[in-house]
A and B are shown apart, each in its own frame.
Chain A
Amino acid sequence: MQSKMKESDPILEVENLSASTDNLPILKGVSLTVYPGEIHAIMGRNGCGKSTLSKIIAGHPSYNITNGDIKFLGENINSLEPEERSQSGIFLGFQYPIEIPGVSNLEFLRVSTNARRKFLNKEELDTFDFEELVKEKLEIVKMDHAFLSRSVNQGFSGGEKKRNEILQMALLEPKIAILDETDSGLDIDALRIVASGIKKISNAQTGIILITHYQRLLDEIKPNYVHVMSDGQIIKTGESDLALELEEKGYEWTDNFIRET
């Protein structure tokens, strides 16, 4: 299975990536390759750089790449704008989805979906056609239609915000989705909804990176690889049982790896 996947070209290649913000180095040489159909989990303590890695892949302007490359479908995207990355199929699920007062969720989702469709040379959807599409996708995250008429994320509960993220992923049909602590703040029912949503959206052509602290999401979505990050580096990579071991032994266990390296 694994070897079969690797016959195709990688979706994402992060090569020896270093990055800083306000001259403070955050990433110190991260390498990571994701092939179609693969699910990668990145784990690590708060502040280890895993959220930063996700933001840099999505193009957040606050970080400077000081060394290394990010390649998406073989092309270097280091200098692409965040919107260009999104349009071409990179999706970042936010740990803390941002509230945007006054902007209707429906209109936001429509403009966003159309930006992606335009890139794919698909016909842009008018309000009516989009309503049809979004209705179908709402099913995936079991969200009520009423969410659409509210302002983007405003007054949403933690769980609602996360489901809204997965709804966006469902609409944008990305090539790769980086989900930053999508499981945090979810009760067990919401976690199942989100996890089954992610599974429904992903397929043999898509790649997924799950950034998480906890095993419980990985019980629902079994990763092919687990990476442990510490101080801006990936210090260990293993298969799904690495996550279990990590849960058992705690991050203190990983401190030994740093000493080893």
Chain B
Amino acid sequence: MVNENLVKDVVKEPYKYGFVTDIETEKIEKGLNEDIIKIISQKKEEPKFLLDFRLKAFRKWQKMKEPEWAELGYKKIDYQDIIYYSAPKQKEKISSLDEVDPKLLETFDKLGIPLTEQKKLTNVAVDAVFDSVSIATTFREELAEHGVIFCSISEAVKNHPDLIEKYLGTVVPASDNYFAALNSAVFSDGSFVYIPKGVACPMDLSSYFRINSGDSGQFERTLIIAEESSSVSYLEGCTAPMFDTNTLHAAVVELIALDDASIKYSTVQNWYAGDEEGIGGIFNFVTKRGKCLGKRSKISWSQVETGSAITWKYPSCLLLGEESVGEFYSVALTNNLQQADTGTKMIHIGPKTKSTIVSKGISAGNSKNSYRGLVRMGTKATGSRNYSQCDSMLIGDQASANTFPYIKSQQPNSEIEHEASTCRISEDQLFYLQSRGIEFEEAVSMMVSGFCRDVFNQLPMEFAAEADKLLALKLEGSIG
């Protein structure tokens, strides 16, 4: 006998990363026009090709329309009311971490990302991005010994302009979509990774994105290139302070894998989600795409999306190389009034390409959680296969879940398999666990992490533990 009323709305656990760092920042005026773009480019001392790239993107963006097809409802964004460049004031040239403002180091310390030599994480190199700029990147020398380049994209523009010019915008062209065009015009910083031929990157690489100021948008850009027979595992984390206004985050991530290369890209997204009434929170409009250019190359996305007021995100794979492999493993948790429209695109172009999609959506409170995915088999994708599994879990009776799988096949000699399910945490299940001495909240979190197991198994170890804790935290004090 299930009394649905007892499984009530979810109450939000206070967001622990909601603090603001009080630091003097250098901001440019609000608004967006060609002059603003020129100022950004100038501040970053960029070569002309990049300014041209930005201006071209801006002109395209002006002619584009904000997409409305997603299952999302929000107040129109005023793009002239956003600051497009905000950076903590620092000394002109920083040669070592000792010169970084201690307040910034403290901020990352508080976020669990220590950067200083004594405290830095031992098994992972970190690029820390604060508002529009990269603050520090650890383990650079060690990585350089292996020929691995790991730095902010601004530095890459200065030090490796040839690579930037060759690859930037080749996976996500500026005209790809509204938010990608906007990012291409105004992107401020982000990470750059280059793994040379035959090198297995000796440690995990990680970027940590921190939004600090309330009125500026964050537009980071990440580019990862894995040369022939190389491999890398890259992790991305994000948090932001609590503001009662919405902050726009429009990132672009491009991955390129050549013959026999593999890239594993994992995200734990915990941007501020807004309060119980839906006030504030990050608008997260992100374009992430990987190109399996080489034969037998592999790109694997795994994401745990728990934050943001709005998530609009479809990490995708273009499978060009013969026998290349694309993977997408996703957990998206929405609570209160959060909205997520997320999924993936697997575009099979080359023959014998393979893709796997495992998506787990959890909706609690009054939230809305949609999976949207496209699997396309092109004319040459003979012998290609896709397997998709999309499961939704509902907590309480006010939340909603949707699944929109799009399948387009132009190749009869290919296989597409799709499975979907929806379940609800029932009062009977909770009572069963409780009647075995397991506390209510632990019971919920056991069931949620059980539901997500297939995805958590794909995450790097430390990340899996963090993700598990994060989900438990997000649902703490929740139903009941």
Contacts and interface: CB of A to CB of B under 8 A. Distances in A.
Q: Is the interface of B mostly helix, strand, loop or mixed?
A: helix
A146 interface: no
Contact of A86 (B3, B437, B442): B437
B52 interface: no
Nearest to A22: B3
A183 B288 CA distance: 56
Most chain B beta-carbon neighbours within 10 Å: one of A94, A100, A108: A100
B465 to A, nearest CB: 15
Interface stretch (A55-63, A133-141, A191-199, A238-246): A55-63
Interface stretch (B62-70, B189-197, B411-419, B446-454): B446-454
Contacts of A61: 3, 6, 427, 431
A102 B429 contact: no
Contacts of A87: 437
Interface in A51-98: 58-62, 81-83, 85-87, 92, 94, 97-98
Contacts of A94: 432, 435
Nearest to B446: A103
Interface residues of A, number: 32
Contacts of A101: 423, 450-451
B233 interface: no
Given A21-B1, A97-B432, A102 B437 contact: no
A258 B187 CA distance: 82
Contact of B435 (A82, A100, A102): A82
Contacts of B438: 83, 108, 111-112, 115
A172 B436 contact: yes
B13 interface: no
A151 to B, nearest CB: 7
B439 A83 contact: yes
A25 to B, nearest CB: 15
A86 B450 contact: no
B434 interface: yes
Given A62-B1, A62-B3, A112-B436, A100 B431 contact: no
Contacts, number: 85
A116 B437 contact: yes
B72 interface: no
A40 B423 CA distance: 38
Nearest to A119: B437
A58 B435 CA distance: 7
Most chain B beta-carbon neighbours within 10 Å: one of A62, A94, A102, A115: A102
Nearest to B1: A62
- B interface, size bucket: 20 to 34
A83 B427 contact: no
B477 to A, nearest CB: 15
Given A101-B423, A108-B436, A82 B431 contact: yes
Contact of A100 (B1, B429, B439, B452): B429
Given A102-B447, A103-B446, A103-B450, A108 B3 contact: no
Nearest to B451: A102
Contacts of A82: 431, 434-435
A56 to B, nearest CB: 12
A119 B437 CA distance: 10
A168 interface: yes
Contacts of A151: 450
Contacts of A102: 447, 449-453
Contact of B431 (A60, A103, A119): A60
Interface string B1-21: 111001000000000000000
B440 interface: yes
B3 A100 contact: no
Contacts of B452: 102
Most chain B beta-carbon neighbours within 10 Å: one of A60, A83, A172: A83
Given A101-B450, A103-B450, A172 B431 contact: no
Contact of B437 (A21, A97, A100, A172): A172
B427 A168 contact: no
A108 B435 contact: no
B433 interface: yes
Nearest to A92: B435
Most chain A beta-carbon neighbours within 10 Å: one of B436, B439, B442: B436
A168 B433 CA distance: 12
B204 interface: no
Contacts of A85: 435
A92 B435 CA distance: 7
B428 interface: yes
Nearest to A116: B437
Contacts of B433: 100, 108, 112
A58 B437 CA distance: 11
A168 B436 contact: yes
Nearest to B425: A100
Q: Name the 9 nearest CB pairs between A and B, nearest first.
A: A102-B450, A115-B437, A86-B437, A112-B436, A103-B450, A82-B434, A98-B432, A87-B437, A83-B434
Interface of A: 21-22, 58-62, 81-83, 85-87, 92, 94, 97-98, 100-104, 107-108, 111-112, 115-116, 119, 151, 168, 172
15 contacts: A21-B3, A58-B435, A61-B3, A62-B1, A62-B6, A83-B434, A83-B435, A86-B436, A94-B432, A94-B435, A101-B451, A102-B451, A104-B450, A111-B442, A112-B433
Given A83-B437, A102-B453, A112-B436, 4 more contacts: A83-B438, A87-B437, A108-B436, A172-B437
